[in-house]
Amino acid sequence: MRVGLVGLGVMGWRIGVNLKNSGKLDVVYNRTQSKAQEFSERYQVKSASSLKELVQDSDFIILMLSDDTAVRETVTSMIPMLKGKTLIDMSTISPSLSMELAIEVSKVGGKMYDAPVVGTSIMVEQKKLTVLVGGPEEGFREVQDLLMSTASSVLYMGKNGMGLYAKLVNNLLIGAYVASMAEAFNLGVRSGLDPKQVAEFLAKYSSARSPTSEIKAGKMATRDYSTQFATKHMRKDLEIIDREAQKLGIINPMSSLALQLYRMAEAMGFTEEDYVSVLEVFSRK
Ligand SMILES: NC(=O)c1ccc[n+]([C@@H]2O[C@H](COP(=O)([O-])OP(=O)(O)OC[C@H]3O[C@@H](n4cnc5c(N)ncnc54)[C@H](OP(=O)(O)O)[C@@H]3O)[C@@H](O)[C@H]2O)c1
């Protein structure tokens, strides 16, 4: 089984390292070729000079790309070559787009899975990711075996699109949660509490503490906005939730409000920074 990886950003690079260390990575490709060359030199994995070359050299193709546009462009250009191949898309994109692409892939005799992840870049390094898989059940075991090289749990959620819907459930919650944490943190600090103490309280003792507060509270205390998950990606996920909620005819007041706050953080210049930078929206007032 030959495995190719497309997308060597924050997550893709680290996933690539895990796959390579498990002996399960044969070839990489990245839009900005210099990143793929750097990966190739560091880890002795072939760098394909084109997507076509990567597809030819792979039976399983893993994608870890930013958004709908990136996945649509990449998959569309691959479709004619996907007969007998399995495409595993780990990007967080619209479930409707993923389902549409899966149909096109199956028409040429290929298989597609949506396989978005829960967890940050640190959790990839620790192999503590959870992967939420949607797609044909009969090929799931092979997908699971492969992804267990970079995750602690690989869960089958149902047909195409269901992995992504499960991921949106998670990100609705953490998007609203971190925005609420920022508001609470700002209240604490502005009332005169020590920022480090408020952070420690949120991470360790609050009745609403969570794995997310453990990771993010310390970053709030030190205004450390180094990127684990970029504000632009959280904004993108909340936009997907908004569109899907409209299609489903449901209300989504919490995520709509959070979306506006992350948009404000982007307008203040924090697009590429970690989404915990939403704190600035509160603390500058
Ligand atoms: N970071 C996290 O903690 C985290 C956690 C869970 C889920 N996710 C999701 O995982 C995905 C990747 O996140 P990331 O943090 O790794 O993003 P990232 O660092 O921004 O990397 C994005 C990757 O997509 C490529 N790309 C962007 N636009 C493209 C296009 N039009 N055509 C081809 N390639 C394109 C980039 O290539 P270039 O190098 O050429 O720009 C890069 O390889 C996102 O959907 C995100 O929501 C991230």
- Residue 16 is encoded by which pair of tokens? 């690539």
- Whether 107 is a known active-site residue: answer no
SS3 state of residue 29: strand
Out of 167, 216, 232, 236, which one is annotated catalytic? 167
Read off the pTM.
Answer: 0.94
pLDDT per residue as tens digits for the range 178-206: 999 999 999 999 999 999 999 999 999 99
Atom of ligand 1 nearest to the CA of 93: 45
Cα 79 to middle of ligand 1, angstroms: 21
SS3 state of residue 201: helix
Atom of ligand 1 nearest to the CA of 237: 47
pLDDT per residue as tens digits for the range 143-184: 999 999 999 999 999 999 999 999 999 999 999 999 999 999
Alpha-carbon span 79 to 55, nearest angstrom: 10
Q: CA-based Rg of the chain, rounded to a whole angstrom?
A: 20
Q: What is the CB < 6 Å shell around ligand 1?
A: 7-12, 30-32, 35, 64-66, 69-70, 73-74, 91-92, 117, 120-121, 228-229, 233
Average pLDDT over residues 111-134: 95
Residue 33 scores a pLDDT above 90: yes
Report the share of the chain in percent with pLDDT over 70.
100
Alpha-carbon span 47 to 264, nearest angstrom: 39
The superfamily CATH assigns to domain 3-160 is NAD(P)-binding Rossmann-like Domain (3.40.50.720)
Cα 190 to middle of ligand 1, angstroms: 36
Atom of ligand 1 nearest to the CA of 91: 45
Backbone φ and ψ for 230, nearest 5 degrees, come out as -70, 150
Is residue 86 within 8 Å of residue 143, measured between CB atoms? yes
Residue 284 scores a pLDDT above 90: no
Average pLDDT over residues 232-249: 97
**Model pLDDT, residue 48:** 97
Strand-strand pairing, 117-118 and 130-134: antiparallel
- The residue nearest atom 24 of ligand 1, judged by CA position, is 65
Cα 245 to middle of ligand 1, angstroms: 24
Residue 285 scores a pLDDT above 80: no
**Model pLDDT, residue 22:** 96
Ligand 1 pocket test, candidate residues 11, 18, 90, 219, most atoms within 8 A of CB: 11
pLDDT per residue as tens digits for the range 117-126: 999 888 999 9
Name the segment(s) of the chain with CATH classification 3.40.50.720.
3-160
Alpha-carbon span 221 to 11, nearest angstrom: 25
The domain 165-283 is placed in CATH, from the list 3.40.50.10320, 1.10.1040.10, 2.70.98.10, 3.90.1150.10, at: 1.10.1040.10
Name the segment(s) of the chain with CATH classification 1.10.1040.10.
165-283
